[in-house]
Chains A and B, each alone.
With several copies, the nearest count.
Chain A
Amino acid sequence: MKIAVCIYEGPYNHEASDSAYNFIKAAIDKGHEIQGIFFYHDGVYNVTKLMEPPQDDRHIANRWSELGAKGIDIVVCIAAAKRRGIVDDVLVPNVRISGLGQLTMMAIQADRMVVFGD
């Protein structure tokens, strides 16, 4: 089944990012195709390479980047990113900035769209 995931909240601040990650890992384990991951609202903060969490904590941006390296399309909304200061220069590898049209395509093409937010 094609599953798309939408994430609305920033890393560490809200559990949405962790719930989404755990859900996606489980979906991959079950053999599903992740149609795409779309970061909207404060979700755009998830993929800045400037974050430096404490050594004993998870590195949320790197986690997303690793999923991107496996071929999952990870998209950051350009409009939401611009007003929040997330630009190409600060992105971790394997994620891209694009428009809301990408979210639209995911909503239409994916069999399921799961939204994680506050």
Chain B
Amino acid sequence: MAEEVKKIMFTVRKPPHGSIYVYEGLEVKLIMAAYDADISVVFMDDGVFAVKRGQDTKELGIKGFEATYGALVDYEIQKVFVDRQSMESRGMTEEDLVIIGEDEDTEEPIRPQVVDASEIAAMMAEQHNILSF
């Protein structure tokens, strides 16, 4: 029996910095990317704040991690989604989203893909396992 590549989804629903979940969750994604799995990441509800551009944690005195999102595509994490309604109800537009890498051929910046909740629900139903952070 051939090993089928398993679909693993990460959902990010908490906001960044108030707690460590988003940051430690990012560490899991980077590790898991090295394994043979079909990974997707969904930022939804307050999780969309994690991928807002322009975070500056210097005055707070804690480590920031926005820059790491810029390397997601380099880590071969390409399936990155943002829930449209979560984003819009929080006053964010696509232009507010971090850039997660650039297209190899065109060098165009790549942003997370904005999708509707129904699409996220459909993707969830296809997963082998889902980890929430």
Contacts and interface: CB of A to CB of B under 8 A. Distances in A.
A86 B89 CA distance: 40
Interface residues on B, range: 20 to 34
A58 B62 contact: yes
Contacts of B17: 15
Q: Is the interface of B mostly helix, strand, loop or mixed?
A: mixed
Nearest to B29: A100
Given A58-B62, A100-B28, A110 B129 contact: yes
Q: Is the interface of A mostly helix, strand, loop or mixed?
A: mixed
Interface residues on A, range: 20 to 34
B37 A108 contact: yes
B124 interface: no
A4 B37 CA distance: 17
Interface of A: 4, 6, 8, 12-15, 18, 21-22, 40-41, 56-58, 79-80, 99-101, 103-105, 107-108, 110, 112-113, 115, 117-118
Q: 3 nearest interchain CB pairs? A: A100-B31, A113-B129, A104-B32
Interface of B: 6, 8, 17-21, 24, 27-28, 31-32, 35-37, 60-63, 128-132
